Amino acid sequence: MSEKDKMLAGEIYNANYDEELIKERIKVKDKCFEYNNIRPSNIEDRTNLMKNILRKYKGNFYIEQPFMCDYGYNIEVGENFYANHNLIILDGNKVQFGDNVFIAPNCSFYTAGHPLDAERRNQGLEYAKSIKVGNNVWIGGNVCVMPGVTIGDNTVIGAGSVVTKDIPSNVVAVGNPCRVIKEL
């Protein structure tokens, strides 16, 4: 099993020393650099390049600059997706956004995690667990979504939250760690 296969399966893999994964990360980081340096008024070129970065997209979507990701081919965005400035997606595994998702500035989605054991961590080992964001979700500024999390439909995540566990549909959730404070 290749390191990439292990990564996509959510198993421990070697991200730091595997040539295939390093090449893939450099390739998409070059594309992100290019994207981040296109004039904001050149919407057509920005959209076309982003379509080349993402694995899957539906209809209209818009991602403000700057944007960074690890691979791109694990990211799926739904119809009417909007992400404000400084979106970071560490997509060692699938990151799926539903329709009508709005993301405020400075948000991060991390599929990657590392062993707690320092010896294994220092070997460059990590894991990646998928993230899923449902339809009609609003994510406030400076939110971090951690590996393996699912956020349900029609949910609002308050600014500054660190989402470490699944959040159900039809709620407002806030805090560190993020927790439900209100049903909608």
Count CB atoms within 10 A of the CB of residue 2.
11
**CB neighbours of 28 closer than 8 A, spacing ≥ 6?**
53, 69, 70, 71, 72, 73
114, 129, 132, 179: the catalytic one is 114
* Tokens coding 135: 């339809």
29 burial via Cβ count (<10 Å: 0-12, 13-18, 19+): middle
Q: 85 an active-site residue? A: no
What is the Cα–Cα distance from 129 to 12, expressed in whole angstroms? 10
Closest CA to 87 of 126, 125, 40, 32: 32
Amino acid at the residue 25:
R
The phi, psi pair for 131, rounded to 5°, reads: -125, 135
Instruction: List active site positions.
Output: 114
